[in-house]
């Protein structure tokens, strides 16, 4: 039987209150935001597991959270993130995948729990060997970053001199790829859930989407409905008082 050569790398941070999804506070309390981040992670991993012909590896931060991740996801192969910047951590995660024999690697985070699985399938298809094969696949995010990046060979230079956590990440990555002579395939645009407006968009999407999509997030949002209804209504006044 042919070995599986495709892998989805999920990069995730331990959902500790006050350290994740802080831009959702308010309307959420830090504990509620952490619980929502944990639900996002569960749904992200479930979506990745739906992709036939691909393994899933979970790369976690911080490294000392290994015991927590192993307890939460005992069926998942986990390894710690290493490096300082996001670029360094992505390079290290891809290197781990190459060292384990994978040849088509796609990396995602846990900020887009409703990212369509078809995006992942399309990324692997674009990376398949052939005359039109891409060297790098990117899923643009509406905030100027990307929700997904796929490679079929190590490209550490692709992640150098990128202004991480800014709206220039995608454009600079595209320019870097072009300078390196890499063939690029762009997927449709999607969004990360970072702000209250993003969260409202996610709620609206899940309201009309199949019930199979994001079950953990759905339940968490249901539990948070009273808080969100009151908190989101109060946000404009809070911004006005703060001069935002």
Q: What are the residue ranges spanned by the domains of the chain?
A: 6-236
| DSSP 8-state secondary structure symbol assigned to residue 232 | H
Q: How far apart are CA 116 and CA 213, in angstroms?
A: 9
| Residue 97 and residue 8 in contact, taking contact as beta carbons nearer than 8 Å | no
- Neighbour tally for 108: CB within 10 Å: 24
pLDDT of 1 strictly over 50: no
Mean pLDDT over residues 127-151, rounded?
96
Q: Which residue has the higher pLDDT, 37 or 131?
A: 37
Are 175 and 136 contacting, i.e. CB atoms less than 8 angstroms apart? Answer: no
Classify 6-236 by CATH class. alpha beta
pLDDT tens digits for range 118-135: 999 999 999 999 998 999
The pLDDT confidence band at residue 51, using thresholds 50, 70 and 90, is very high
Helices (H), the chain: 30-49, 66-72, 86-99, 117-127, 169-179, 196-208, 215-242
Cβ atoms 1, 100 nearer than 8 A: no
| Residues with Cβ within 8 Å of residue 235, at least 6 apart in sequence | 26, 27, 196
C-alpha distances out from residue 59 to 43, 69, 159, Å: 16, 10, 18
Asked which of 17-21, 111-115, 119-123, 236-240 is least confident by mean pLDDT, the reply is 236-240
What pLDDT is stored for residue 237 in this prediction? 42
> For residue 43, what are the contacts with CB-CB under 8 A and spacing of at least 6?
113, 114, 213, 214, 215, 216, 217
Provide the whole-model pTM.
Answer: 0.92
Distances (CA, A) of 26 to 112, 203, 213, 237: 20, 17, 26, 12
């Amino acid at each position: 039987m042919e070995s599986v050569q495709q892998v989805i790398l999920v990069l995730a941070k331990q959902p500790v209150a006050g350290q994740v999804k802080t831009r959702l506070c308010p309307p959420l309390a830090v504990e509620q935001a952490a619980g929502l981040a944990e639900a996002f992670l569960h749904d992200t991993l479930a979506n990745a597991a739906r992709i036939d012909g691909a393994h899933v590896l979970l790369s976690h931060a911080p490294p000392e959270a290994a015991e927590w991740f192993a307890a939460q996801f005992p069926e998942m192969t986990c390894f710690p993130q290493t490096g300082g910047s996001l670029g360094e951590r992505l390079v290290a995660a891809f290197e781990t995948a190459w060292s384990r024999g994978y040849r088509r690697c796609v990396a995602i985070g846990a900020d887009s729990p409703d990212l369509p699985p078809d995006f992942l399938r399309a990324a692997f298809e674009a990376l398949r060997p052939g005359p039109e094969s891409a060297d790098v696949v990117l899923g643009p995010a509406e905030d100027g970053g990307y929700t997904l990046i796929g490679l079929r060979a190590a490209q550490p230079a692709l992640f150098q001199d990128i202004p991480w956590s800014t709206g220039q990440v995608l454009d600079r990555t595209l320019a870097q790829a072009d300078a390196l002579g890499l063939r690029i395939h762009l997927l449709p645009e999607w969004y990360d859930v970072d702000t209250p407006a993003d969260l409202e968009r996610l709620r609206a999407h899940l309201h009309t989407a199949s019930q199979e999509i994001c079950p953990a997030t759905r339940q968490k949002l249901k539990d948070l409905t009273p808080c969100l209804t009151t908190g989101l209504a109060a946000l404009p006044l809070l911004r006005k008082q703060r001069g935002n």
